[in-house]
Amino acid sequence: MSGAALHWLAEPGAPLRGDVRVPGDKSISHRALLLAAIAEGTTHVRGFLEGEDTRATAAILRQLGVRIEVPAAGERVVHGVGLHGLRASERPLDCGNAGTGMRLLCGLLAGQAFASELIGDASLSRRPMQRVIAPLERMGAMIAADAGGVPPLRIAGGRALHGIDHESPVASAQVKSAVLLAGLYAQGRTRVCEAQPTRDYTESMLAAFGWPIRHRPGLAELDGGHRLHATDIVVPGDFSSAAFWLVAASIVPGSDLRIAEVGINPRRIGLLTALRAMGADIVEENLRRCGGEEVADLRVRHAPLHGIEVPAAIVPDMIDEFPALFIAAALADGPTVVRGAGELRVKESDRIAGMAAGLRRLGVCVDETDDGAIIHGLGANARLRGGDVDSLGDHRLAMAFAVAAQRADAPVRIADCANVATSFPGFVERAAGIGMGLRVG
């Protein structure tokens, strides 16, 4: 969505210090809009992520006839139209860079009386959609994709859906959510089993909107034919955005940072486990619940890190955090081994290849494997080289390299950073505000 190329110049700044916040959780913000749109009544969302991904979802819902007000930044008032109140859009629905938007909408639109077309930007147009198309077609949907199962997706209307038992071959909350959203419109029971549990926001939010659902880690089941009732939603800070500060403060000597009100859902905080195993000093303070989710203030202080073997079991719980982890690993003593993370190859970019290429430019030896990498850490007191790296238009790669530059011995120029606005609007200003050396340039 962010057309113009935008480059960053990152270099060592000061130790990271102070009290900061991160923008609202992306996964929860998407789901809040989608469920509020098809609920009965008015939902007030607070802490909403003002990112391009979630704004694209809001724009699509408006195209489908939902009135959404913006009383203030970070707030949305959604006037729900009920389960059957959406109406056709004559124009394609543009999800931008957002895989979550596209996959969840695909599930939601599969059971509508009207046809829809979902499109995305260049990155999204390369991402695999067969993983949602296959189970939705088993439910009775009809969805055409381009060759190779990539967008645009043309979703037929007027299909009668029926519930299925779905065992997901990939650990994916997006696939699970698409099937559950289609299940709202299906006759009978829809059941999703996961060998490796993934984030459960769709399940808990459906319950909050009053839809009867049974769920526990690895299993979710619901019946069609109920209604959603509007409810107010408070979105906690996004752990995946906090991840960059956690790594930055861990690797910059003298840092002592507190990140307020971060969601710490167990299915999201695999990076905490990994960083702590590497020797990081991170404390969860002031634990409480916020809008049904557990939140905490995260206090992080600099600590020397050492390499680890990342346990395969926590890979889905930190699937978005590998770019940040690669930087921590690059500045740790000894190698860090990542396995079982082949999904990284089909995110906004091929994150294994992209991180390996960037780190090599900065002087780190990285062995790539099909489903992971071995990062040969330079050492807890070492510094990276400066140089030019490419974010490949991937928001998380751009932020990871900006963090890496804080421990480089010369400036790092990072290409193609505009998509950071998809998940972390204001990253440059906030980074500079806590001491990081970072500017557009």
| Beta carbon nearer to ligand S3P, 27 or 255 | 27
The residue assigned the tokens 């046809």 is 115
Total binding residues toward ligand S3P, as defined by CB under 6 A:
11
State which residue has the least CB distance to ligand S3P: 27
Nearer to ligand S3P, 51 or 140 (CB): 51
Nearer to ligand S3P, 320 or 394 (CB): 320
Among 2, 12, 16, 27, binds ligand S3P (CB under 6 A): 27
Shortest Cβ 403–ligand S3P spacing (Å): 18
User: Exactly one of 320, 390, 394, 416 is catalytic; which is it?
Assistant: 320
320 catalytic per annotation: yes
Single residue of 29, 43, 57, 100 touching ligand S3P by CB under 6 A: 100
Residue 342 Cβ vs ligand S3P, minimum distance, rounded to whole Å? 11
- C-beta of 105: minimal distance to ligand S3P in Å? 12
Which residue among 29, 63, 174, 241 contacts ligand S3P (CB under 6 A)? 174
- Exactly one of 121, 320, 390, 394 binds ligand S3P (CB under 6 A); that residue is 320
Assess 231 for contact with ligand S3P (CB under 6 A).
no
Question: x-or-dash pattern for ligand S3P, window 421-440, by CB under 6 A?
Answer: --------------------
Question: Of residues 192, 319, 380, 392, which one binds ligand S3P by CB under 6 A?
Answer: 319
The region of 55-63, 166-174, 186-194, 270-278 touching ligand S3P under the rule CB under 6 A is: 166-174
If one asks whether residue 196 binds ligand S3P (CB under 6 A), the answer comes out as no
- 168 near ligand S3P (CB under 6 A): no
Nearer to ligand S3P, 76 or 199 (CB): 199
Chain residues binding ligand S3P by CB under 6 A are 27, 100, 172-174, 177, 198-199, 319-320, 343
Catalytic machinery residues: 320
